[in-house]
Each structure stands twice: as structure tokens, then as C-alpha cells.
Structure 1
Amino acid sequence: MTLWLGIPLGLLVVAMILLLSSSIDFRIRCYKHDKNDLLELDVKTLFGLIKLHYELPRLVFKGLEQGVIGKFKETGTATTGVDTVKEEHFDKERVEHWRKNIQLAVRSTRGLKKWFKETVSHVKISKLDWSTDFSLGDAADTAIASGAAWGLKWSIVGFISQRVKLKHNPRVFVKPVFQDEPSFSMELVCEGKMSVSYTLYALLRLLLRVLRVSGGIGKWRKLLKRMRREPHGQSLE
């Protein structure tokens, strides 16, 4: 009896050690060349046993009222096994829903902003490449804009480096293209990870912060119900 009890307990201990020693790895790629767009997010954990792939192959701006429309694709071992393709609408109503949800989350959690900053500071970025080629159609304007683009990029990179851990120096490029016609191309690749053990610890701290607010659990339930009721993309399957 002791042997039959010890085997599953030993396997459970080994599984917990493997779980806590693994990490959540992610890769973000954003690409744009004239009218061609692509936004990809890959997430994997448990040494690659669980994988998720999100893809937004194209964004179309439909005006101030309709906002931006894009086709959203989800695949991976953590899904139901069937590729999900949806048409997503990002308009003023969607943004307003997000704003209200964030406000409710802040009211429902003690020190949510502080918790978020501390959690993000444990993200380790191993790769950050950002290149931009563009032309404004005029050589002088393109040269001036390239200088402004350099300054803007390094300001953004500096902002990010203050909040996450950069394991390697980011590679940032701005290439002015001197031609008569306007053009724009950009590619951003970001790779990083966060340990599963700290992720679980951060979730536990988040729960404790919610419990410190009167009615915090009830407010979070309300928030999750509201998020489920909000309009989402229409499935194209």
C-alpha cells in the first residue's frame, strides 16, 4: 500500500518541480510594408508542451466610426484543436469597453498599478529588433523625419528598458529612402520570457490584493461577466 501511494506522490512532486522550473516564453512580430500587415504572437510553456499562436494578418481602417477591422486567427496545442478565425472590430465602442473594464479592475484591487509594475519588471527580454524604412516623397522632409524617428524610437526603448529586464542591447534601425513616392515599411520582433514560478506567485499576490478590497471578489466576478457579454469578433469558420 505504501508503494502504491508513494509512486503517484513521487510523480506529483516531479510534475510540480518541472512546472515551477519552466517558463512562459513569448515572441511578438509586427510587420508592415505599404498595405501588407502582419501581427503575430507566439506563447509556449511547459518546455513547449503547451503552445499558442495568434495572428492578425491584416488591418483595415474603416473610418472614425467603424474603426479598424482585422481577421484574428488562433491556433496551438492549448486550443480545442480547431483553428479559430474571427473578424475583429476595434472601434470607439470597443475602446470604451476596455477603459471601463480597466477602471473597474483598478477599483476592485488594492494597488493594482503597483502590482502590475512589479510583475512586468520580472519579464526578461532576450531580443528586441525594430527597423523602419520610409520615404515622404521629398528628400529634405525624409531626412528631417528620420531624425525625429530615431529620437522617438529610442525614447520608447528607454521607457521599456526601465520596466523590463533587457538581456541584450536592442537593435534599432531607421533607414530613410530617398525616392519621389511615399513609402513605409516596418518590422518589430520581440522575444522574452517569465518564469512560471513567479507567475504563480504574482497571481497569488493579486488574489490577496483583491481580498483586501471590500467586495473585491464580487467586483471581479462582475468584471468577468461584463467581458463575456461584450461584443467579440464574428467567427469565419
Structure 2
Amino acid sequence: MWMWIWIGIISCIIIFGVVIARSYIDIKILCNKVQEDDYISIKAKMLFGLVKFNYQIRQISFKGFEQGFLVKREQKDNFLAGHKTRDKFEFDFHYLQKMYDRVNLLVKYTPDLIRWTKKILRHVHCSILTWETHIGMEDAADTAVASGAMWAIKGTATGWLSHLIRLQHQPEIQVHTHFHGPQFTTEFRCIAKIRFGHAMVAGVILLVRVVKVKGGLKLWQSILFKA
């Protein structure tokens, strides 16, 4: 009797684990710029929507070549009790240099980090990728040049992205030219997903590599906490 109960419990645990492993982490990215208004949103959910994360940049203001950009952001999640934070930071040369130095440290103290990143990205499947831009300058010739440059940028970006993740459909890329005056609006939309099992296994592999390096775990904790 008890043997069958334990077999049933273990079977349920195995089935539940398989279902969880085969579920997806859904990621939605939206970048929108209309003249002076900027908006970036990254939303992720996993475990059938039980865990959600929402990161938003609501304003990007140019403060000058020395100060760079002032960025206002908001972060929300429902982990455990859930929390919500709002802050702002200056995105300038010093900020870029600091981020570059941190990434270099992670690469230096984590074996095969770049290869690990490329491998996990190959498990990401993108179902929707659209990028639409309206652009216009005061002069018709300048508008044509700007439009050609925008096509080139989009072609290079989507080609590079196709080598990193799996695109299930052809990207929808559009550039609309306007000859009646200065105008610039652009919207980038991406919907992607990765199996929870792939992300979990990749996380375990990364953790093992980090722990093997002396001071590796402490370095990751320090950098992630500062970020």
C-alpha cells in the first residue's frame, strides 16, 4: 500500500518537473521613440506566469556631451512578496567605461563565458521581430541619405541578431521617408522565448564554472549587486 503511494508521489514529482522544464520563459521587448519621447520596456514571465518581471525606461534626456544622458527607469517583479523600484542615472562615457570594465572582469574570471552566452542564445526562439521607422529631414537629399543609412543599420543589426538567436519568421523591417520637414519615430518590437529547462541547465553550468575560479562567486555577487 505505502509502496504504491510513494510511487504515485514520485511519479507526480517527475511529471511536474518535466512539465516545468518544458515550459517557456517568455520575453517581450518594446523600444519606442517619438521625437523627444523615449520608452523601453522589457517584460519576462516564467512558470506559466507565476513569476513576472517588468523593466522600463520611461525617459532619456540628453544633458550635454559631458553629462551624457539622464535615464529614468522603473523595475517591478512579483518574486516572493514582490517589489517596485524607481531611480535615475547618468548614461555617459564614464558609465560606459565602468560597464566595459565589469564585463571584462566577468569574462576574465569566468571560463568560456562568451561561448556559454552564445550557446544559451541559440536556444532562444524569436516569433516576432518588427522594426518600423519614420524619418524626415529639412532637405530631400538629406532625407534620402538618412533613409539609406537607416536601411543599412537595420540590415546589419537583424543579420547579426539572426546569428545569435533563432528567428522563426522573417523580420518585418520598414523605413518610411517624409519630405515635409524634420521627423523621426521608430518602434522596435521583439517577442522571444526559451525553455525553462535550457535556462536552468545553463544556469547550473555557469554556476559550476564560477565556483571553480577562486573569488569568482564573490566577483559575480559584487558586480550584480552594483548593477
Shift of 1:105: 0.9
* 1:40–1:54 CA contact under 8 A, matched in 2: yes
Identify the range of structure 1 (156-165 vs 8-17) with the bigger mean alpha-carbon deviation: 8-17
Partner of 1:89: 90
Q: Equivalents in 2 of 1:84, 1:8: separation in Å? A: 41
| Superimposed CA distance per residue, residues 19-78 of structure 1 (whole angstroms, 9 cap, x where no aligned partner) | 101111100000000011110011011111211111111111112332222221122323
- 1:82 and 1:212 map into 2 onto residues whose CA distance is 33
**Secondary structure of 1:198's partner?**
helix
2:198 maps to what in 1? 198
| Matched-pair contact (CA < 8 Å) for 2:137–2:183 | yes
Q: Gaps (5+ residues) in structure 1? A: 233-237
How far did residue 227 of structure 1 move? Answer: 4.1
> How far apart, in 1, do the equivalents of 2:207 and 2:44 lie?
24
Size of the aligned set, in residue pairs, is: 226
Equivalent pair of 2:147/2:177 in contact (CA under 8 Å): yes
The answer to which of 90-99 and 123-132 deviates more is: 90-99
Q: Where do residues 138-177 of structure 1 align in structure 2 (5 Å cutoff)?
A: 138-177=139-178
Query: Does residue 58 of structure 1 match 2:59?
Result: yes
Change (3 A) 1:210 1:225: closer
8 Å CA contact 1:104–1:219 kept in 2: the answer is no
CA-based RMSD: 2.1
Structure 2 unpaired stretches of 5+: none
One-letter amino acid matched to 1:69: L
Distance in 2 (alpha carbons) for counterparts of 1:119 and 1:184: 35
Q: Give 1:171 deviation, angstroms.
A: 0.2
Q: Name the residue aligned to 1:235.
A: none
Please report the TM-score for the alignment, with normalisation by the length of structure 2: 0.89
SS class of match (2:48): coil
The worse-fitting range, judged by mean Cα deviation, of 159-168 and 88-97 is: 88-97
1:220 shift after superposition:
3.1
Higher fraction of strand: 2
Counterparts of 2:56 and 2:80, CA distance in 1: 14
TM-score (normalised: structure 1) = 0.86
